[in-house]
Amino acid sequence: MGKNNRLTLKLDGTSPDQLPMARLSKYLSALSDLYGSVDAVHFKEVSEGSACLNTWVDSDTAYNQVVERSLLQAKNNGKHYQKLVSLLAQDGYRGSIINSDELTIVNFPVADEAPLFSVKKRAKVQGRLYNVGGKDESAPVKLEGANGETYNCEATPAMAAKLGSVLFKQIRVEGDSEWEKKDGIWKLKKLKISSFDVLDKSSLRSALASLNEATGNAWKEEDNPHVVLKALREFNCE
């Protein structure tokens, strides 16, 4: 590949070890749609410097087409450009596409940081624990939700030590939380963990089996009770 045929989507606000794979796949899918020329564009790696999604294009002609298409999408506020804008806004990242000379090709707008609504309450959220760290009295903790979203939490050093023993497991955490509502969607800003439970993967299956075996219930009439339970669980998280 030519050294001038490289393009990088730089995500400021995260790093390779903090970006969940499910979320990475969404960015790569949106980036592929933005670039087009699917047979000519190749993913190389995610590197440090925030989280840098590095790609290369296998010919000068295709590279120029990718750059022109990206610029046109940004200029016209195209749907593929908007998809990346939306992902960045959801995660609170700053984003830009740079070339091999670190010149900016596309600079994505920064989401308005002022929330439309904000509320503090006692709450529970659940997901896959994938990050526990920090040296301060308030250690950052991150969970990956069912849709690849990140739940930003914090814990005391003592609680962080306990959480370290269940890293990469599905857990439910509870504590005082702060939520922001943007574009009609409530997003967890922060939750200070006071307690947690490790989730048994078989518990949901057992619950469904019990409901189906019970007589005189309406669950049997549901086409997809898994969807209903997921919706109820997400509602209770809020």
Q: Does residue 74 sit in the same domain as residue 122?
A: no
Q: Does residue 37 sit in the same domain as residue 96?
A: yes
In 76-199, where does DSSP find H-type helix?
79-91, 157-164
Domain containing 180: what range?
Answer: 117-199
Q: Does residue 193 sit in the same domain as residue 125?
A: yes
Question: Does 139 reside within a domain?
Answer: yes
Give pTM, 2 decimals: 0.50
**Are residues 7 and 99 in contact, defined by beta-carbon separation less than 8 angstroms?**
yes
Q: Does residue 12 sit in the same domain as residue 94?
A: yes
**Residue 232, pLDDT above cutoff 50:** no
Question: Does 112 reside within a domain?
Answer: no
Beta bridge partners of 55: 7, 43
Q: Does residue 22 sit in the same domain as residue 48?
A: yes
Q: Does residue 230 sit in the same domain as residue 186?
A: no
Q: Does residue 142 sit in the same domain as residue 98?
A: no
Please name the residues in contact with 123: beta carbons below 8 A apart, sequence gap of 6 or more: 174, 175, 177, 179, 188, 191, 237, 238
CA distances from 72 to 35, 65, 85, 110, 122 (A): 11, 10, 15, 19, 46
Which of the residue ranges 16-30, 41-55, 116-130, 199-213 would you say has the lowest mean pLDDT?
A: 199-213
pLDDT given at position 219:
44
**Residue 2, pLDDT above cutoff 80:** no
CATH number at residue 166: 2.40.50.140
Give the count of domains, the chain: 3
pLDDT given at position 218:
47
Question: Does 60 reside within a domain?
Answer: yes
Q: Does residue 150 sit in the same domain as residue 183?
A: yes
Question: Does 78 reside within a domain?
Answer: yes
Considering the chain, what percentage of its residues have pLDDT values greater than 90? 58
CATH number at residue 83: 3.30.70.680
Beta bridge partners of 188: 179
pLDDT given at position 173:
97
Q: Does residue 100 sit in the same domain as residue 13?
A: yes
Tell me the mean pLDDT in the region 105-116: 69
Q: Does residue 91 sit in the same domain as residue 12?
A: yes
